[in-house]
Amino acid sequence: DKKIKKQNEPLDIKLEKTTDILKELGTVKKSGQLLVGFALETDNEVANARKKLETKNADLIVLNSLQDKGAGFGHDTNKVTFVGKDDKLKELPLLSKADVAKEIVNHIAEQLNA
């Protein structure tokens, strides 16, 4: 609620767990709706994304990796993999973040029109 002044001793920050929005949306998803989630993984990336897909009742996970050079935080580019219920993976090359967003929208449109 206010600025924390610098101190000589270490600063401990207590984090509180928040509501799992994707899981909540998965419980109220209706027929014809497509639920898309995002995952940032560092280990067992695809396996963890598939687990998230199932446990959250999502239809698509957009997987981000911290392993890819030039992708993610601090860059204007990103490289993602689409993980869908059909067990197919669609790996995109390194693209501008704007182009990644377009690819996500196009992929969702394809899924809705299938």
Sequence spans of domains, the chain: 32-113
Q: How many Å apart are CA 51 and CA 42, to the nearest integer?
A: 14
pLDDT in tens, 8-52: 888 888 999 999 999 999 999 999 899 999 999 889 999 999 999
pLDDT(1) > 80:
no
Exposed, middle or buried by CB within 10 Å (0-12, 13-18, 19+), for 30? exposed
pTM: 0.84
pLDDT in tens, 42-101: 899 999 999 999 999 999 999 998 888 877 788 899 999 999 988 889 999 999 999 999
The residue assigned the tokens 């890819």 is 68
CATH superfamily of 32-113: CoaB-like (3.40.50.10300)
Stretch (H or E) spanning 61? strand 60-65
CB 58 within 8 A of CB 22: yes
